[in-house]
């Protein structure tokens, strides 16, 4: 899985925001992410899988595996639901 081209992660007024760019600009696709969401987004900008993203999250943050796995799965599901993946 990989985030579609056409989105950039930006800092705007102290918030981390995903902004659509390019042709067919749809501002409904603009989202605000917390620190963990931004970390996960960056992992998903390259071709990867949930296991690799989970390992990166566990290495970066002090969180138990069960909680991290649930949060990664929920984040990925939301991105799929809203069409952010190729």
**Per-residue pLDDT tens for 25-46?**
666 678 999 999 999 999 999 9
Residue 30: the pLDDT is 84
For the chain, the maximum distance between any two Cα atoms, rounded to a whole number of angstroms, is 41
Q: Is the pLDDT of residue 85 over 80?
A: yes
**Per-residue pLDDT tens for 48-59?**
999 999 999 999
- Of 29, 67, 75, 32, residue with least CA distance to 50: 75
Q: Is the pLDDT of residue 11 over 70?
A: yes
**Which residues are bridge partners to 1 per DSSP?**
none
Q: Which residue did the predictor score with more confidence, 83 or 27?
A: 83
Cα→Cα distances 84→41, 60, 66, 67, Å: 10, 24, 25, 23
Q: What does the mean pLDDT of the chain come to? A: 92
Residue 25: the pLDDT is 65
Cα→Cα distances 62→58, 74, 82, 83, Å: 7, 19, 29, 30
Q: Give the three-class secondary structure for 71.
A: helix
């Amino acid at each position: 899985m990989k985030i579609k081209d056409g989105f950039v992660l930006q800092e705007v007024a102290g918030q981390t925001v995903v902004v659509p760019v390019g042709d067919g600009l749809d501002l409904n696709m603009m989202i605000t992410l917390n620190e963990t969401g931004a970390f996960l987004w960056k992992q998903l900008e390259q071709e990867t899988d949930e296991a690799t993203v989970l390992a990166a999250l566990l290495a970066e943050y002090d969180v138990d595996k069960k909680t991290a796995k649930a949060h990664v799965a929920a984040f990925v599901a939301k991105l799929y639901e809203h069409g952010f993946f190729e």
